[in-house]
Amino acid sequence: MELRHIRYFLAVAEELNFTRAAEKLCIAQPPLSRQIQELEEELGVKLFIRRPHLVQLTDEGQLFRQYAVQILDLVGKSSEEVREMKEGLQGTLYLTSVEGHAPRLFSEWIAGFHRIHPHVQYNLWNGNSDDVMARVVKGLCDLAIIMEPFNGEGVESLRVYEEPWVAMMTKDHPLAGELGEEIDLEKLAPYDLIIPSRQSRLAEIEKWFEESGTKPVVRCRIAHMLNAYELTEQGVGVAIYPAAAAETIGRDTLCIKKITHPSVTASYVLIWNEKRQLSHAAKEFLNYIRWKMTPASPEGE
């Protein structure tokens, strides 16, 4: 068994699709299939169930995946530590985040950390909350930023940012003409709303309206902010999103108002797999973030 067999296996295990795994590895599919077959023959078990349009891990494949991740982690850590003895902290940080303010947080932390450890490399991936949580649980990233609420089973967490929720509407919307940059939640009740797709978000927003004695009319549930922006611009409804959405799309074409009464906030949380040992670089990056979160840390460092 060679390291390439393990890397190829993990690529297929992640994608559950030989074609996509081959593209990710920059090789043709037939050689990838042969390498997996060789690995299965050496182990004496089937690692994947192969059906038309469906690839699944067998029970043996699930177990081997756990060891495969540990093996590559150990190889990476040993190589890093040997190089670090001569050149300083090295390695690649695998970071994952949701939309909103999370990418800005990572970019600020990376900028400061890079000044201290210039040889560290970064691999960033973005997705919705379910995708991010799945990558953390499966050990496919070191650190991730997700938004509350979330299922904290199997992860450790650190709250890193809070921001208000806003209502985004076209500039000719009836509510856009109201004075001020804030709007009472109950005033949104008669209008079609566009909200994030997570089920927990729907329950959260319905609770806000319930407390104000009203009920929301949810017209669209969207996984990505860009879709919410496009639908809002077309007048489909009023989008309710964390304030970072307004920062991302700008204010040229839409009217943005902070939601008040009740004042509601969105919280961002840094998470990592509590069962997976972090690499040296990831530990140092986490320590840097914790330092940045302390009130005494200098701005811009």
- Which range, of 58-72, 101-115, 186-200, 282-296, averages the lowest pLDDT? 58-72
Provide, rounded to the nearest whole percent, the portion of the chain with pLDDT above 90: 43
pLDDT given for residue 207 in this prediction: 92
**What DSSP assignment string belongs to 70-112?**
HHHHHHHHHHHHHHHHHH-S--EEEEEE-STTHHHHHHHHHHH
- CA–CA dist 130, 111 (Å, integer): 27
Helix 102-116 to helix 280-293 angle (10° resolution) is 110
Tens of pLDDT, residue by residue over 150-178, are: 888 889 999 999 999 999 999 999 999 88
pLDDT band at 300 (very low <50, low <70, confident <90, very high): very low
Q: Which residue has the tokens 């077309």?
A: 234
- Looking only at the bridges linking them, the beta strands covering 92-97 and 121-126 are parallel
Tens of pLDDT, residue by residue over 41-93, are: 888 988 888 888 788 888 888 888 888 888 877 777 676 667 665 567 888 99
Examine the pLDDT at 271 and tell me if it is beyond 90.
yes
Question: Is residue 266 within 8 Å of residue 165, measured between CB atoms?
Answer: yes
pLDDT band at 296 (very low <50, low <70, confident <90, very high): low
pLDDT given for residue 22 in this prediction: 86
